[in-house]
Amino acid sequence: MILDAFRLDGHSALVTGASRGLGAAMADALEQAGANVFRASSSIADLSDRTSVASLLDRAGDADILVNNAGIIRRADLVDYSDEDFDDVIEVNLRSVFALSRDFARRLVEEKRSGKIINIASMLSFQGGIRVVAYTAAKSAILGLTRALANELAPHGINVNAIAPGYMATDNTQALRDDPVRSRDILARIPAGRWGTPADLMGAVVFLASPASSYMHGSVIAVDGGWLAR
């Protein structure tokens, strides 16, 4: 039965940034599909600390699914954007994704196990955005990283793909939703006519984590209410 291809019984997943929002919903979805999920949050692992990143996989056990969801955002006009803010965003949103993916893949290759890496991209992987130069740089790089990793890891039975959420009602977009002009302009461009919710990502993450997506490598699924189609 085709629905069996979406089951994750016997699999284990590590989801970063899983304490709330998109990460919590994706972790819930993987659990509902049968996976054992290790939920990493900032209280468990500080992804701006390279030592903490290196030890996270040990704490997650024998995971064969990695969801690189954790991220931060800093908003400021370009002329006021500090080096510190830029470096902090790149460290968490890009470098930790690289490091976790590399170490995760190394274990699977050494143990001759297949697996899944799911990166979380953004609408700003495709567009420039406003007042979020570091976030845009990191999320644009996530697309390139996803494709580069897919090229190297596909021969080892490791699928690397990404989800690009649209404008979601989360903490990261609170400032936009509180701004009546920006919120109005954003909603006017979304064909679905609403902000997305964390639950909107549940189907996509289960699909990419499951055997149903076994022939997908280096793909990006936009879950955006039609934003990119407008």
Residue 43 has pLDDT above 90, yes or no: no
> What pLDDT does 202 receive?
98
* CA end-to-end span of the chain: 36
Question: What would you measure as the largest C-alpha separation in the chain, in angstroms?
Answer: 57
β-pairing, 220-223 vs 115-120, is unpaired
> What pLDDT does 175 receive?
85
Quote the mean pLDDT of the chain: 95
> What pLDDT does 217 receive?
98
Four-residue CA torsion sign, 20, 25, 31, 36? negative
Q: What are the residue boundaries of the structural domains of the chain, listed by start?
A: 2-219
Average pLDDT on 160-171 reads 95
> What pLDDT does 172 receive?
80
Active-site residue, from 81, 135, 167, 215: 135
Q: Domain 2-219 belongs to what architecture?
A: 3-Layer(aba) Sandwich (3.40)
Has 167 been annotated as catalytic? no
Q: Which residue has the higher pLDDT, 171 or 117?
A: 117
Predicted confidence band of residue 228 (pLDDT cuts 50, 70, 90) = very high
Q: Look at the block and give the residue holding tokens 């954007």.
A: 81
Predicted confidence band of residue 69 (pLDDT cuts 50, 70, 90) = very high
Residue 53 has pLDDT above 90, yes or no: no
pLDDT digits (tens, 9 = 90+) for 80-125: 999 999 999 999 999 999 999 999 999 999 999 999 999 999 999 9
> What pLDDT does 118 receive?
98
Average pLDDT on 8-17 reads 97
Percent share of the chain, pLDDT over 70: 100
Q: Residue 116 in contact with residue 159, Cβ under 8 Å?
A: yes
Residue 31 has pLDDT above 90, yes or no: yes
> What pLDDT does 165 receive?
98
Assigned token pair, 174: 């609170």
> What pLDDT does 4 receive?
96
pLDDT digits (tens, 9 = 90+) for 172-193: 888 889 999 989 999 999 999 9
What Cα–Cα distance (Å) separates residue 214 from each residue in 6, 38, 178, 204?
11, 23, 41, 14
> What pLDDT does 61 receive?
86
**Distance of alpha carbon 72 from alpha carbon 135, whole angstroms:** 8
